[in-house]
Amino acid sequence: MTIKPVRTYTTPAYPTYQESKQDAHLLERLPRRWGKTLAPLLGTGILIQIVGTGCNSNDAQGKGVKITAVEPLGQKPKNVADAVRAIPVTRVAPILEDALANDGKGSFGCMAVSAPVFLSENEAMDLIRAELEKAGLALQPGVSVDGLQVPTTSEKIREEKKKKIENAMKKSRDVYKETWDKLHIANLVEGSYTFDLGTEDKSVVVKFFRTEDYDQWRDNHLFGKWSVESFNLSWLASHASDAFKARTNGNPVVIGLFFDPLTYPKSSKEKWQEIRKRMAEQKEREGRENWTEYMAYEKQVEAATKVIAHEKLRRQVLHFVEYLKKEGVVQ
């Protein structure tokens, strides 16, 4: 055999050590025959050295297998457990930044006369299901995932909070506000959380946050109901995302979080004034007001606002679909 020097060299297609550190999910896209044991360890400098009688059934059971960690030059030693933990059990998809910055905030009741338009649960679920099914996901309602950080409604904890807030009231306004803001967020405990939709194998689940969820996570009723209700669903989605990311045990799952945009109507002030003027003239002539035109215009504005709200929610869902494609969950 004649040894000849290599004149050309093709850059390897497999991920480098640095690339695998930045994106651990690269390691999930390996041939199935490599097995669940080897896949998480490749690309991190871990060498699996097989010794013993060869590739027989005993080796498949882990007998005669020696694991040796070989690190690239200049790298600090890593153990096998660290390499395995590089792939997260729970992946929470990033939420659309534009939605977090501009949507999901609103109030109604009392002096909040310009209230946003709320999406019903049914119309939101229909939209979400339709877009995800287009992407190839078969979904079913009410899918639960264990091991997540979820809000607790413990009355004991609630009473302790009330006492602390009442004591803060006796001090100063600043102390009261700081205490209220801190304790107003519901305590979290490890438990099961039921998502609106999910795949049968629970590998992908999604949740649409509404005002009812805000009350639960924000613990809004420490002192009962108020005459005005305020909501910040973008905060809720971010808060829940951070809580769910803490899950490190259990079956792998990808979580998508959406929220009601709480879209404000774009009505014409001039149009309202015209209608009110005609109503006043009618009252002067006939001694009564006819609200038919007023109510018709109000329904027209609400319908137009719903169209905008649907599109805002659709953009959230499509952002999640792009994440699923990037992760290789759907094509």
Summarised one tens digit per residue, pLDDT across range 23-44 is 555 555 555 444 444 444 444 4
Number of domains in the chain: 2
Residue 17 has what pLDDT? 53
> How deeply is 202 buried, as exposed, middle or buried, from its count of CB atoms within 10 A (0-12, 13-18, 19+)?
middle
- Residue 318 belongs to some domain of the structure: yes
- pLDDT for residue 153: 72
Read off φ and ψ for residue 330, nearest 5 degrees.
Answer: -130, 160
Question: Within this chain, do residues 207 and 62 fall inside the same structural domain, yes or no?
Answer: no
In a domain, 157, yes or no: no
pTM, whole model, 2 decimals? Answer: 0.66
Residue 54 lies in a domain: yes
Task: Return the H-helix or E-strand segment holding 259.
Answer: strand 253-259
Q: N- to C-terminal Cα distance for the chain?
A: 47
| Enclosing domain of residue 61 | 17-84
- Looking at the fold, whether 105 and 43 belong to one and the same domain comes out as no
The half-sphere exposure of 316 on its side-chain side, counting CA atoms within 13 A, is: 30
71-93: pLDDT as tens digits: 444 455 444 444 444 568 999 99
Looking at the fold, whether 252 and 308 belong to one and the same domain comes out as yes
For residues 228 and 107, the answer to whether their CB atoms sit within 8 Å is yes
Please give the Cα distance from 147 to 326 (Å, whole number): 26
> What residues contact 191, with CB distance under 8 A and at least 6 apart?
146, 148, 150, 152
Q: And the tokens for 44?
A: 């991190």
One domain, residues 104 and 27? no
Asked if 229 and 107 count as a contact pair (C-beta separation under 8 A), the reply is: yes
What is the β-pairing status of strands 204-209 and 253-259? parallel
Per-residue model confidence as pLDDT tens digits over 117-135 = 899 999 999 999 999 999 9
Q: Are residues 243 and 274 in the same domain?
A: yes
The angle formed by the CA atoms of residues 306, 211 and 223, to the nearest 5 degrees, is: 145
